[in-house]
Amino acid sequence: MSTAKPLDFNNGNETFPYLAPVPLQGGGLAQAWTAAHSTVIPSTSKFIFNDTQHFVKSHQLSLRNTGSKEVTYVLRNRGAATANTFDEGSRVPAYAPELVQKYADINFSKSQVTVPAGGEAAISFSVTPPHELVATRVPVYSGYIVLDSESGDKLSIPYMGVGAK
């Protein structure tokens, strides 16, 4: 899943300039060749931040390099659209959730990480959910922890949380 390519949201008629929510697309479009040739393996395939009552703010990611060369990654957050799963004033889920461009903030312990050949490296990060979410609409926010290497290889690990209890 970490080698999949996240895609922009498409409603069937047009593509929008923001990522589709993780619950809609999972890790993204599978990249078979990249998956078969990737030498760096993340310790997890996803991060779940939970809801506001059980929110998990701090997380750890380990990377294992099975290859013969060290790999350096630059870390970044790539937020996906937040889905308001209930219409305003409704007590039942929306047929088509409203998507808004509100994203979580991710604060990494370091901006890049080098994974030695045959070795491991770890980073930690903390999460701040998007601001101004309306809990009664049960917003689901999501995105990807993206690791870009100097050679052009890219890993992305999906994450998700709920802005209500």
Domain map (residue ranges) of the chain: 8-162
Q: What is the dihedral of CA 112, 62, 124, 101, to 10 degrees?
A: 80
Q: Per-residue DSSP letters for 90-132?
A: -SSEEEEEEEE----EEEESSSEEEE-TT-EEEEEEEEEPPSS
Mean pLDDT of 143-160: 95
pLDDT of residue 151: 84
pLDDT of residue 10: 97
Mean pLDDT of 88-116: 96
Q: Quick one: CA dihedral 47, 109, 30, 11, positive or negative?
A: positive
Instruction: For residues 90 and 78, give the distance between their C-alpha atoms in angstroms, rounded to a whole number.
Output: 30
CATH 2.40.128.20 is the classification of domain 8-162 = no
Return the amino acid letter for 13.
N
> Model's pTM, two decimal places?
0.95
pLDDT of residue 76: 98
